[in-house]
Amino acid sequence: MVRVVAAVLGGAYVASLVALGLEATGVLGVLAGGGKLLFLAGLVALLVTRALVSPHDRAAWLCFAAAVASYLAGALLQQFHYAGLAVVPRPSWADLGWMGLYPLACAGLLLLFRARVQRLTPSMWLDGVVGGCTAAALASASGLGALLRADDGSVGTSLTAAAYPVADLLLLALIAGAITVIGRGAGGVWWWLSGGMGLFVVTDVVYAHQVVTGSFTSGGPLDLGWGLAFASLGMAACQAPRSGSTRRLRGVGSLAIPGACSLAALVLLFLGYLDEGDPLAGVLALCAVLAALARTGLTFRDVRALADSRRQARTDDLTGLPNRRRVFEALATVEQQLAAGGAAAVLVIDLDRFKEINDSLGHSVGDALLRQVGPRLQTQLRRGDLLARLAGDEFVVLAAELDDTGALALAERLCAALRQPFRLGGMSLSVDASIGIAVGPQHSTSAEELMQMADLAMYCAKSARQGAVVYDEHRDGSGRYRLEAVDQLRRAISDGELVLHFQPKVALATGRIDGVEALVRWQHPTRGLLFPDAFIDLAESVGLMSALTSRVVGLALAQRRAWADAGRELVVAVNVSPSNLVDEHFPDEVAQLLDQHGVPAGALVLEVTESLLMEDRERAVRVLARLRDAGVGVSIDDYGTGYSSLAYLAELPVTELKLDRTFVADLTASPRAAAIVTSTLRLAHALGLTLVAEGAEDQATVDALAALGCDVVQGYHLSRPLPPEQLAAWADRWDVPAGTTGRGAAG
């Protein structure tokens, strides 16, 4: 609809020009002159409409509308006042209205530019200067310089006439600079604006020349030129709004615009400094060349910095070899080769006894050795093979088009090269290496799996001292699946696949729920609900137990907070891993979790086994003491099955003993077990500790424990571990009068 209106307005304007060209008089003449005015008024309305439908750059189009309105005011004065005078003064008040177009249009251009470019870098500024100066130089060379040197006509007339093309030139330079900065994403708006301003430059240069020489007459080709220039502004308003970031050229492409402008400017310089040439064009061209040179310098600096950054991000600082990041980028290429039917081998190299070199000779010698290993290995590789350092004393080779026989031969050459003595500060060192090999597609078509397989084969070579070993599924497959399980467990800890079940504890003196023990489960996405025996040993062996325990503590405290909000106050017990017990930061982590969930410290009990306490007793005592000082309870789990010692029991800051189920299960059938339970109970009470008996499987055991004066009991007879919602339902059904010994499981 907007474009239809613009076409109608353009047609009306052309019709008015035809009428003027035919020297129409009377009513037809008035209509002919009024046609231009109606066209300008319609253009103002069109620009206002564009502003209303474009909130992103509304202010810019309102400025353009105001600019055309100012020009319309000058045209009205000319049509209804000055056109009837015998001699039209130069300058006139109509010139004031026409000149008002330029500052308003300049404001519109700047606002339109800022709507597209939110941040200007030094390179963008220089690009704009280059484009603007070149455009101004070309326009000046086209005849503006000659006009400014003209001495015909009065001074006022000459200055007024010259002001139009000069202002046009400034706007054209601004548009050219903006298009240069915005780049390929400028869109039709900017190109229509540049075309319209170019028409203004040409038409106003001719107009100024005619005014200075006294040959100007209203109507004819000049009015057509101005009309087409305004029509271009209307067409710009008809273009679909475009926003978003600019699409700047990068790399060598970023030099295209400065290079082209420099070439044009050099031509103008050559012409501008000729005797008959235009000095103004030469000066402007010189400015463009200087700006282009500065822009080129900035580009090369940016490119060099980017290249250095990319190189450093993919290079090992110590050896200068590609690093792990570069390896994984290369693995993508290897996978493409395998998919295309090619072959590739991955060799993982680990130096033997490198730790002994570091420990006995110092890290500086070890680093010097690593710096020599790379060049030594490189001598045995083909052109195109990639050698990289993964970490520490571990390297990797990616070799295309090698089968297992060729890869094994390469590995043996690498081992032989490393056995040649290294000269290090007057010393001579020889090293051996263990190399694991995996070949695709024989072993796998996945490049990352080949890396894992080669790593497993390397560990086999190291343990068997075989030098180089090719991956074998029968021998190394279990390790591969173990790696996959480790990766899955790591994701389970971070992605929320761990869930807690809670087993209630009952105080025998009151028959009330004393607390719960949190027991972790793994809700595996494919294997279903897994119990701790399926993953705890794995977590301990690969160093994930600390993270797992911290996750369990956080989940337990979050659930305790939910129960408290529902009106049920419970003490929650959580088992602690060895890594947590010797971690000096663990008490701070527990305090942070308590504060995060708004749980009092007394509502948390951490259970530790006797075997943990014996591994690093001094540090364990410090960690437990800090936890106790914070108010957290500490329980000795599985008491009686480890290295029981009255000395450490007196020393440790514990609050309860948890008697192992092996003694509780035989309580009613074995006098020895009854004696152990009785003596342990007396010892705990003598030390001011609470005794918790776990493993109560029948009512007779519960009654016997109550008769002995045991404090708390838990076991399957009372309840199995339950999900949180089922535990809440169980607790609602558990109703034992105070002073009784409890009853059977209620759920």
Span 350-378, pLDDT tens digits: 999 888 888 778 888 889 999 999 999 99
Work out the average pLDDT over 611-615: 59
Using CA atoms, how far residue 172 sits from 203, 224, 229, 291, 328, in Å, is 13, 20, 12, 18, 51
Give per-residue pLDDT as tens, 632-672. 999 988 787 755 556 667 777 889 999 888 889 888 888 88
**Which element (helix H / strand E) includes 348?**
strand 344-351
184 versus 62: the higher-pLDDT residue is 62
Question: Two tokens at 34?
Answer: 């009024």
pTM above 0.85, yes or no: no
First to last CA, the chain: 75
| For range 430-447, the mean pLDDT | 91
Q: According to the model, what pLDDT value does residue 556 have?
A: 96
What is the pLDDT, as a whole number, of residue 740? 41
166 φ/ψ angles, rounded to the nearest 5 degrees: -65, -45
The pLDDT of residue 273 is 47
465, with CB counted inside 10 A (0-12, 13-18, 19+), is: exposed
* Exposed / middle / buried, residue 86 (Cβ in 10 Å: 0-12, 13-18, 19+): exposed
User: Is the pLDDT assigned to residue 743 strictly greater than 50?
Assistant: no
Per mean pLDDT, which range of 255-259, 427-431, 594-598 is the poorest?
Answer: 255-259
Contact 210, 169 (CB under 8 A): no
Read off the pLDDT of each residue in 103-132 and give the average, rounded to a whole number: 67
Distances (CA, A) of 114 to 77, 129, 172, 354: 34, 16, 17, 60
pLDDT over threshold 50, residue 248: no
Mean pLDDT confidence for 193-199: 80
Residue 424 pLDDT class (50, 70, 90 cuts): confident
pLDDT over 90 percentage in the chain = 30
pLDDT at residue 298, as a whole number: 65
- What CATH class has 501-515+569-733? alpha beta
Closest CA to 327 of 212, 441, 451, 449: 451
Neighbours of 122 (CB within 10 A): 11
Whole-Å CA distances, 664 to 469, 508, 640: 52, 15, 11
pLDDT higher than 50, residue 151: no
Q: CATH code for 324-471? A: 3.30.70.270
pLDDT class of 415 with cuts at 50, 70, 90? very high
Which band of pLDDT confidence, cut at 50, 70 and 90, is reported for residue 288?
A: low
Q: Is the per-residue pLDDT at 147 higher than 90?
A: no
The pair of structure tokens assigned to 635 is 């329980």
What is the rounded average pLDDT for all residues in the chain?
78
User: What pLDDT is stored for residue 255 in this prediction?
Assistant: 46
Per-residue pLDDT at 594: 95
290, 410, 295: which is closest to 346 by C-alpha?
Answer: 410
Cα dihedral 484, 486, 492, 493, rounded to 10, equals -160
